[in-house]
Structure 1
Amino acid sequence: MTSKKFTLSEANALLPRLQGELARLQQLTNTFEERVTELKRMKNGYARSSERLSDDPDPFFELEGELEFMRMEIELAIQNFERQGVQLKMIHPGLLDFPGEVDGRDVLLCWKEGERSITHYHGWDEGFAGRKSLPGA
């Protein structure tokens, strides 16, 4: 991860693009979770089935392959936030931290999904519970 520090204006300028990337990641994780549930249900039904043959090909191979590909896509999307110097703290709801500075102190500029812009920050060891309003926000 880069050691970039963002100004408030830089972080806010990046926010619309990151919101789009976050929305895509949220959709991807939702679909992944639905497909995992579907696979579990299918495997459960298959295990109870008395009609399966011992020489049946793996009926789950294709879905398991799709899930592995989706898992890699999710990991790449998460890493993309890191490559940009942004910390993705939560996917649902979206929570992003941008390393920055307030009053000469290293902090994390904090954005939560639903907020129009970045208006809060917290210390590196305070977390979301320690959010404070940015001066002048």
Structure 2
Amino acid sequence: MTSTSINDTRLFSVEEANAMLPLVRAITTDVVTLARELVERGDRLDLLKSRREGSVQDVYGEELGEIEDELHNDAARLRGYVNELADLGVELKSAGMGLVDFPTVVDEQPAFLCWQLGEGEVSHWHRRDGSYDDRRPLSANLHVGSSAISNFAAEN
């Protein structure tokens, strides 16, 4: 598998993105699960803290501090997962949705191949300045992949 890079950004063909999908899927599953847990546990912690405001006795203060420490550790673990994805050359766009973008070139323009957890393969794309709402299905008349990337790299 050969890949091209421009300005240290790895560019993926559809085939390369799909070949990497098992690893990306595993990491993204961990990201989504941990991100949801962090939100839920953080909300519960905030609720518990608000209920004890003004309380004279602080019998649960130490336990709440431990829970806060666990949340900070898990947040660091989440950042580690995001860094793993970045090291692969892909960008996590939404931890909650499990949305990942693979830098590419479409019709000789910078773009992203777009994949969401639960999808079987990479089958959508959007321009670099676009978002999830701008996703379009890949079609046969688009120039995506090795030749488009090579042409783009040669021009830039």
TM-score, normalised to structure 2, is 0.75
| Separation (CA, whole Å) in 1 of partners of 2:88 and 2:42 | 30
Deviates more, 1:3-12 or 1:24-33: 24-33
Structure 1 residue 98: Cα displacement: 0.5
SS at match of 2:97: coil
Identity of aligned residues (%): 28
SS at match of 1:111: strand
Aligned residue in 2 for 1:116:
120
Structure 1 residue 75: Cα displacement: 1.2
SS at match of 1:100: strand
1:85-131: CA deviation from partner (whole Å, max 9, x where unpaired): 10111122221111112233322111123321111211111222332
Alignment gaps of 5+ in structure 1: none
User: Map of 1:1-137 to 2, 5 A cutoff?
Assistant: 2-50=8-56, 52=57, 58-59=61-62, 60-136=64-140
Contact kept in structure 1, 2:29 and 2:117, CA below 8 Å: no
1:4-53: CA deviation from partner (whole Å, max 9, x where unpaired): 01111010011121111111111111221222122122212322534x06
What CA RMSD, in Å, does the superposition of the two structures yield over aligned residues? 2.3
Moved over 4 A (4+): none
| Separation (CA, whole Å) in 2 of partners of 1:2 and 1:87 | 14
Structure with greater contact order relative to length (CA < 8 Å, sep ≥ 6) = 2
TM-score, normalised to structure 1, is 0.84
Contact kept in structure 2, 1:2 and 1:85, CA below 8 Å: no
Alignment gaps of 5+ in structure 2: 1-6, 142-156
Aligned residue in 1 for 2:4:
none
Contact kept in structure 2, 1:2 and 1:84, CA below 8 Å: no
